């Protein structure tokens, strides 16, 4: 089993926190002595602190700069795709 303490700030990772959970894209943004502040990109962006000792079932890969650029193009172009338009009734 891996832990958040293995991850580097400023990097994007594909991880699986638990065997029964789906793969998630995360970015480590801040590191303290004991914790890391994580952005998680699922249907919606969520943020939160994780202890460096918190377990990760699998660190699948650290994304390359090119992969991050390609993902950002897709993510940003689809940002409003699932939001419903409000009716002006």
What was the pLDDT predicted at 63? Answer: 96
Q: Which two tokens stand for residue 84?
A: 């419903």
What is this structure's pTM?
Answer: 0.81
DSSP, collapsed to helix, strand or coil, labels residue 2 as: strand
Q: Is residue 82 one of the residues assigned to a domain?
A: no
In the Cβ-directed half-sphere of 79, how many Cα atoms lie within 13 Å? 5
Which tens digits make up the pLDDT trace of 33-77?
A: 999 999 999 888 999 999 999 999 999 999 999 999 999 898 888
How many Å is the maximal CA-CA distance in the chain? Answer: 54
Q: Is residue 43 one of the residues assigned to a domain?
A: yes
Q: Is residue 50 one of the residues assigned to a domain?
A: yes
Residues in the chain: 89
Domain count across the chain: 1
DSSP, collapsed to helix, strand or coil, labels residue 74 as: helix
Domain membership of residue 49 as a residue range: 2-68
What was the pLDDT predicted at 76? Answer: 81
């Amino acid at each position: 089993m891996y832990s958040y303490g293995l991850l580097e700030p400023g990097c994007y990772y594909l991880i699986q926190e638990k065997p029964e959970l789906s793969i998630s894209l995360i970015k480590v943004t801040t590191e303290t002595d004991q914790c890391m502040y994580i952005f998680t990109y699922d249907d919606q962006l969520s943020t939160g602190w994780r202890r460096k000792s918190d377990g990760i079932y699998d660190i699948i890969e650290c994304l390359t700069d090119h992969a991050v650029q390609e993902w950002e193009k897709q993510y940003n172009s689809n940002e409003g795709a699932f939001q419903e338009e409000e009716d002006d009734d």
